[in-house]
Amino acid sequence: MKYAAIADWAGDKQYPVTFMCAHLGVARQGSYRWLAAGPSERDRTDAQLITQIRQIHTDLQGHPGVRRIWAELVVRGVRVARKRVWRLMRAAGLQGRHPRPWKRTTIAGQRPIDAPDLIGQDFAAAQPDTRWVGDITYVATVDGWVYTATVIDLHSRKVVGYAVADHLRTSLIVEALAAALVTHRSAAGVIFHSDRGCQYTSNEFATFCAENGVVRSMGRRATCFDCETGFVARAGVTPATTGPAGALALICPPARAARPRWRPGRAVTS
């Protein structure tokens, strides 16, 4: 390190070599020998690896990160540690892109059973169990995707029902609403507001709501805020700051949401 610093300063003609060697405690002859020897074997290998890494980073689409670069080097027969690849990429100013895991949960049905918008983005309720909102969120786990359907009371801002599953079938939201009805039997005639996903517009869900006295309400097409704001209202943040991760954080822990005693073809019983 001392010899490298002396070489840099000598190249800029900032200080005489003799003066720098005396103050750094090294021999002037040693500085000249180091300069004549040239780069070390490791430095030359690093330079070659950086050239290969730059080429791989250009060839692979999507701004590959350390793991993809390292795997490609292994395929090409280059034996190198992954930490060394990370160090060289940082020195070369190369950085991978890490997109967030994403799943589409709102899918329009082929024969939807629509409902009017009874909320009109007015996410407030003067009395409990008069206005509920529901949505589906997701989270990536080591075992795969997990989907969570929630029911939120717009008066208390609490989760009154929820359900978790590894699928997006209509039974997921039916179980979530059934859980809310089990613990809130006084909610007859409650307005349940949602988006226009195929689960909420299905015949199964419409039948379940009719059997249990739930009035369906749906937001407008091509706007996610008509339903997502139900989560936002509970958190007290703007729609632009919400998302799947924020929605999942809002439902933990649930507000004493019991599992429903419900079977297909039967109304919810307390």
Burial class (CB in 10 A: 0-12, 13-18, 19+), 248: middle
Evaluate whether residue 121 is within a structural domain: no
Q: Which residues of 89-122 are buried (b: 16+ CB within 10 A; e: fewer)?
A: beeeebeeeeeeeeeebbeebeebbebeeebeee
Evaluate whether residue 43 is within a structural domain: yes
The confidence score (pLDDT) of residue 122 equals 80
Evaluate whether residue 138 is within a structural domain: yes
How many domains does the chain contain in total? 2
Which residues, 6+ apart, have CB-to-CB distance to 37 below 8 Å? none
Evaluate whether residue 217 is within a structural domain: yes
Evaluate whether residue 188 is within a structural domain: yes
CATH number of the domain within which 156 lies: 3.30.420.10
Evaluate whether residue 193 is within a structural domain: yes
Evaluate whether residue 122 is within a structural domain: no
Evaluate whether residue 266 is within a structural domain: no
Q: In the sheet that 144-153 helps form, which strands lie side by side, from edge to edge?
A: 159-165, 144-153, 131-141, 191-194, 215-218
The confidence score (pLDDT) of residue 25 equals 80
Segment-wise mean pLDDT, segments of 10 residues, the chain, 270 residues: 68 74 77 71 85 87 83 89 89 76 59 80 84 86 85 89 90 92 78 86 90 87 59 44 42 44 51
- Domain boundaries, position 33: 2-92
